[in-house]
A and B are shown apart, each in its own frame.
Chain A
Amino acid sequence: MARTPLSLRDEDRALARRDDPDLRDLLPAVEPERTVTDWGRSERVEGFFDRTLYDFYYHLWFRCEVEGVEHVPSDGGALLVSNHSGALPPDAPMIAKAIKEEHPRPRPLHLTMEHFFKGYPGLSMLLPKIGGVPAHPANVHRLLYDERQLVLVFPEGRKGTEKLYKERYRLRRFGRGGFVEAAMRARVPIVPIAVVGAEESQPIFAHVKALQRLTGLIYFPITPTFPHFGLLAAGLYLPAKFKIRFLPPVRTDDMGDEPWEDQALVQTVAHDIRATIQEELLDMLGKRRSVWFG
Chain B
Amino acid sequence: MVDTRLVVDSIVTTARRAHENNVIGTMNVLAACAGEGSPVRKLVFKSSAHYYGCEQDDPAFFREEMRRPHPARTAIERDIVEAEKQVRDFGLKNDHVTVTVLRFANALGPDLRTSFQEWLDLPLVPTILGFDPRCQFLHEDDMAAALEHAVREDLDGIFNVAADGVLAMTEVISLLGKAPVPVLPPWGTKAALPVLRALGASPCPELLNQLRFGRGLDNRRFKATGFRFRYTTREAVLKLREHQRLAPILGRGGEGYRYESAVEEFLRFSPSVRAPNARPQLAAPANRAPGGAGRPTDAYGDLTAREVIAMLPSLGEADLRALRDHEAAGARRQSVLKAIDRLVAQEPAAR
Please, what's the 1-or-0 string for A61-73, where 1 marks a CB less than 8 Å from any CB in chain B? 0000000000000
Closest A residue by C-beta to B222? A26
Closest A residue by C-beta to B171? A36
Q: How far does the Cβ of A260 sit from chain B's closest Cβ, in whole Å?
A: 17
User: Counting CB contacts under 8 A, is A208 at the interface?
Assistant: no
CA A34 – CA B235 in complex, angstroms? 11
Query: Which chain A residues lie closer than 8 Å to B156 at the CB level?
Result: 1, 3-4
Closest B residue by C-beta to A119? B56
User: B232: which of A5, A14, A31 is its contact (CB, 8 Å)?
Assistant: A31
Q: How far does the Cβ of A16 sit from chain B's closest Cβ, in whole Å?
A: 11
User: Counting CB contacts under 8 A, is A142 at the interface?
Assistant: yes
User: Counting CB contacts under 8 A, is B300 at the interface?
Assistant: no
Q: A22-B224, A28-B164, A39-B60 are in contact. Are A7 and B88 (CB under 8 A)?
A: yes
- Taking a contact as CB atoms under 8 Å apart, the answer to whether B221 and A118 are in contact is no
CA A26 – CA B234 in complex, angstroms? 18
User: Counting CB contacts under 8 A, is A139 at the interface?
Assistant: yes
CA A110 – CA B56 in complex, angstroms? 19
User: Counting CB contacts under 8 A, is B57 at the interface?
Assistant: yes
CA A36 – CA B216 in complex, angstroms? 14
Query: Which chain B residues lie closer than 8 Å to A4 at the CB level?
Result: 156-157
Q: A27-B220, A29-B164, A139-B59 are in contact. Are A11 and B130 (CB under 8 A)?
A: no
- Taking a contact as CB atoms under 8 Å apart, the answer to whether A134 and B57 are in contact is yes
Please, what's the 1-or-0 string for A7-48, where 1 marks a CB less than 8 Å from any CB in chain B? 111010110001000110011110101101011101000000
Q: A6-B88, A138-B59 are in contact. Are A34 and B158 (CB under 8 A)?
A: no
- Taking a contact as CB atoms under 8 Å apart, the answer to whether A40 and B132 are in contact is yes
- Taking a contact as CB atoms under 8 Å apart, the answer to whether A121 and B59 are in contact is no
User: Counting CB contacts under 8 A, is A152 at the interface?
Assistant: no
CA A120 – CA B187 in complex, angstroms? 10
CA A4 – CA B131 in complex, angstroms? 38
Q: How far does the Cβ of A252 sit from chain B's closest Cβ, in whole Å?
A: 22
Q: Please give the number of chain B residues whose Cβ is less than 8 angstroms from any Cβ of chain A in the complex.
A: 44
Q: How far does the Cβ of B73 sit from chain A's closest Cβ, in whole Å?
A: 14
Q: How far does the Cβ of B108 sit from chain A's closest Cβ, in whole Å?
A: 17
- Taking a contact as CB atoms under 8 Å apart, the answer to whether A8 and B65 are in contact is yes
- Taking a contact as CB atoms under 8 Å apart, the answer to whether A6 and B91 are in contact is yes
Q: A14-B65, A31-B234 are in contact. Are A6 and B99 (CB under 8 A)?
A: yes
Closest A residue by C-beta to B187? A121
Q: How far does the Cβ of A53 sit from chain B's closest Cβ, in whole Å?
A: 20
Main secondary structure of the interface of B (DSSP, over half): loop
User: Counting CB contacts under 8 A, is B186 at the interface?
Assistant: yes
Please, what's the 1-or-0 string for B133-166, where 1 marks a CB less than 8 Å from any CB in chain A? 0100000000000000000001011100000111
Query: Which chain B residues lie closer than 8 Å to A9 at the CB level?
Result: 65
- Number of contact residues on A: which range applies? 35 or more
Which residues 119-157 in A have Cβ within 8 Å of B in the complex?
119-125, 128-129, 133-134, 136, 138-139, 142
Q: A6-B92, A23-B220, A121-B131 are in contact. Are A136 and B165 (CB under 8 A)?
A: no
User: Counting CB contacts under 8 A, is A173 at the interface?
Assistant: no
Interface centre among A36, A40, A42 (most CB of B within 10 A): A40
User: Counting CB contacts under 8 A, is B87 at the interface?
Assistant: yes
- Taking a contact as CB atoms under 8 Å apart, the answer to whether A118 and B59 are in contact is no
User: B165: which of A1, A7, A28 is its contact (CB, 8 Å)?
Assistant: A28
User: Counting CB contacts under 8 A, is B129 at the interface?
Assistant: yes
CA A136 – CA B63 in complex, angstroms? 13
- Taking a contact as CB atoms under 8 Å apart, the answer to whether A136 and B223 are in contact is no
Query: Which chain B residues lie closer than 8 Å to A116 at the CB level?
Result: 56
- Taking a contact as CB atoms under 8 Å apart, the answer to whether A38 and B59 are in contact is no
Closest A residue by C-beta to B214? A40
User: A121: which of B88, B130, B154, B221 is its contact (CB, 8 Å)?
Assistant: B130
Query: Which chain B residues lie closer than 8 Å to A5 at the CB level?
Result: 91-92
User: Counting CB contacts under 8 A, is A209 at the interface?
Assistant: no
Query: Which chain A residues lie closer than 8 Å to B167 at the CB level?
Result: 34, 36
- Taking a contact as CB atoms under 8 Å apart, the answer to whether B224 and A23 are in contact is yes
User: Counting CB contacts under 8 A, is A115 at the interface?
Assistant: yes
Closest B residue by C-beta to A3? B156
Please, what's the 1-or-0 string for B79-113, where 1 marks a CB less than 8 Å from any CB in chain A? 00000000110011001000101000000000000
Query: Which chain A residues lie closer than 8 Å to B266 at the CB level?
Result: none
Closest B residue by C-beta to A23? B220
Q: How far does the Cβ of B162 sit from chain A's closest Cβ, in whole Å?
A: 10
Interface centre among A8, A9, A22 (most CB of B within 10 A): A8
Please, what's the 1-or-0 string for B112-140, where 1 marks a CB less than 8 Å from any CB in chain A? 00000000000000001111101000000
Q: A6-B91, A14-B65, A124-B132 are in contact. Are A42 and B168 (CB under 8 A)?
A: yes
Query: Which chain B residues lie closer than 8 Å to A29 at the CB level?
Result: 164
CA A133 – CA B186 in complex, angstroms? 21
Closest A residue by C-beta to B59? A138
Sample of 19 further A-B pairs with CB below 8 A, known A14-B63, A40-B134: A5-B92, A6-B99, A8-B65, A11-B65, A18-B63, A23-B220, A23-B224, A29-B164, A39-B166, A40-B132, A40-B168, A120-B130, A124-B130, A124-B132, A128-B132, A128-B168, A133-B60, A138-B59, A138-B66
A to B CB contacts below 8 Å, 6 in the list: A4-B157, A5-B92, A34-B234, A121-B130, A128-B134, A142-B61
**Closest 8 CB pairs between A and B?**
A121-B130, A28-B164, A14-B65, A121-B186, A138-B59, A119-B56, A122-B130, A115-B57
Binding site for B on A (CB under 8 A): 1, 3-9, 11, 13-14, 18, 22-23, 26-29, 31, 33-34, 36, 38-40, 42, 115-116, 118-125, 128-129, 133-134, 136, 138-139, 142
